[in-house]
A and B are shown apart, each in its own frame.
Chain A
Amino acid sequence: MLQALFSHPFLTMSFLAGIAASITSGIVGSYVVAKRIVFISGSIAHSVLGGMGIFLWIKRTYNIAWMNPLHGALVAAILSAFLIGWIHLKHKQREDTVIAAIWSTGMAIGVIFVSLTPGYNVELMNFLFGNILWTSTSDLILLFALAGFTLCTVLIFHSKFQAVCFDENQAQLKGISVTKYYLFLLNLVAISVVILIQVVGAILIIAMLAIPAAIAGSFTARLSNMMGWAVIFGCLFTTVGLSLSYFLNWPPGATIALTAAVFYLLNLARKA
């Protein structure tokens, strides 16, 4: 694998993309798991299909070359994050219903617009199931820029995010704006989802966000340490998953997600 990694530039790019994605998903995923908002992240991840479908339809129908389904994904993810965040903060008792509604509505809109879009939508299939092997230099720059942005954000705001995740009342008592920081965190999840779509795809993104962080949580009592461990596990899963997909000729996104799931089960067995 190592020889192949350095002899095939596309594999080197994929490996580096996996590292960058693991940094982002390890950090953001730790908040997602600790705050128990995996379901919310799933809803945001699936809502992006609606945005991608609409943007792809506009692009093909009106021949707008610069339009990219990822732009639609970003708009849908941010809108969903704001809507779910607002419902969580103002009408907690309706939260689960709204999350489920956004989840299925996003997918429904996506399916309808894909069916209306002329031509074969291989582009959308890559976003749905991911294709890390298609990583370009500009994708790689974007992935590492996101990793750097996430790291800097967390270095500055970790104590506030931690307080909002653990005890909203205490954060509010100390003058921290729970609304502002909770929405900020959800938008960080939304942006991460959109960027990580390229690695594992919208359907499998929850695996990258939740599984490395969930395993990391069983090794430490500190959220900050959990992030470090989650990044290490993420790198391990993407590298092992990528290697397996190369040798077995399996789809890389699904193989990475399956590798993470196997490690998760092994960790559960270790704890039992």
Chain B
Amino acid sequence: MAIKSNHLFFQYEETPILENVTFDIQPGQFVGIFGPNGGGKTTLLKLLLGFLKPQKGSLEILGQPPKDAREHLGYVPQISHLDREFPITVLEVVMMGCLDKSFFRSYTPDAKEKALQALTDVGMVDFQNHSFGTLSGGQAQRVLIARALVSNPTILLLDEPTASVDASAEEAIYKLLARLKGTMTILMVTHDLQIMMQNVDRFICVHRQVHAYSQAQVCDHFAHGLYHTPLRKS
């Protein structure tokens, strides 16, 4: 099992965000995560990344607590969460995926070669010496995907990678993800269900609780208001 959540519960102060969340994800699956704003998608991602600890229940990634499984994770944040004026080059951003936590070593061996290969894979190698801040939203997002891929993760987590990019950049990102499909487990938070329909194996809806749906079920109820119309559970 790639990810297994069992009766997970998390609250901020006195407000429950996730309640009795039980789901599992098989290795190699491409899963779309959707839900209303404030429904708990970001909290679920933070729990998966080990930045937050479940208050009740359990969450396992590859059979381990999330904090111990971080070396197997690649994470693509929303571009809007980063300071675009920070003085850093594209190559330096990608090499951050090869950071070495030991005291005196900066990067893992062959970090530069791996970073250049990852940039080649996302079609951004010609921009390696450019300032990260000068890239368009779509280009910057591809660089962040390269950073997540550079350490060969088993599970890739993406937080709305097409949120602030134009249509052509969105298409390039989806083509890239389609190429990665099957090579690793992919979880992607998105509001873009129509396009995701072609790529994902299944959806999970996060709205305080988590429900898993097949493509057909989401398609069937698409016009009826996903978050308010009860879906028939699989």
Contacts and interface: CB of A to CB of B under 8 A. Distances in A.
Interface string B102-142: 00101100000000000000000000011111100000000
A223 B49 contact: no
Contacts of A165: 86
B104 A36 contact: no
A258 interface: no
A160 B97 CA distance: 12
B195 interface: no
A68 interface: no
Nearest to B91: A222
Contact of B96 (A34, A167, A225): A167
Contact of B89 (A36, A172, A222): A222
A167 B87 contact: no
Given A156-B104, A167-B77, A175-B101, A223 B70 contact: no
Interface in A220-237: 220-223, 225-226
B62 to A, nearest CB: 15
B99 A163 contact: yes
Contacts of B104: 156
Give the bracket for the number of chain A residues in contact with chain B. Answer: 20 to 34
B106 A223 contact: no
25 contacts: A34-B87, A156-B104, A159-B106, A160-B99, A163-B96, A163-B99, A166-B82, A167-B82, A169-B49, A169-B77, A170-B77, A171-B96, A173-B70, A173-B75, A174-B70, A174-B96, A175-B70, A175-B71, A217-B87, A220-B87, A221-B88, A221-B129, A221-B132, A223-B86, A223-B92
A166 B88 contact: yes
Nearest to B147: A170
Contacts of B133: 221
Given A171-B99, A172-B51, A221-B131, A162 B75 contact: no
B73 interface: yes
B83 interface: yes
Nearest to B82: A167
A30 B101 CA distance: 23
B83 to A, nearest CB: 7
A162 B96 CA distance: 9
A163 B82 CA distance: 12
A176 interface: yes
A160 B131 contact: no
Interface of B: 49, 51, 70-71, 73, 75, 77, 81-83, 86-89, 92-93, 95-97, 99, 101, 104, 106-107, 129-134, 147
A158 interface: yes
B87 A173 contact: no
Contacts of A163: 96, 99
Interface string A159-192: 1101101110111111110000000000000000
B88 A173 contact: no
Contacts of A169: 49, 51, 75, 77, 81
Contact of A221 (B70, B82, B89, B99): B89
A90 B160 CA distance: 26
Contacts of B86: 34, 165-166, 223
Contacts of A220: 87
B106 A173 contact: no
A177 to B, nearest CB: 8
| 5 shortest interchain CB distances as A-B pairs | A221-B131, A175-B101, A159-B106, A174-B99, A223-B87
A170 to B, nearest CB: 6
A222 B96 contact: no
A230 to B, nearest CB: 11
Contacts of A159: 95, 99, 106-107
Contact of A173 (B49, B82, B132): B49
Interface string A128-157: 000000000000000000000000000010
A114 to B, nearest CB: 39
Of A36, A165, A170, most B-chain CB atoms within 10 Å: A170
Given A169-B51, A221-B130, A223-B88, A176 B101 contact: yes
Contacts of B131: 221
A222 B49 contact: no
A176 B99 contact: yes
Nearest to A166: B86
B59 to A, nearest CB: 16
Contacts of A221: 87-89, 129-134
A239 to B, nearest CB: 25
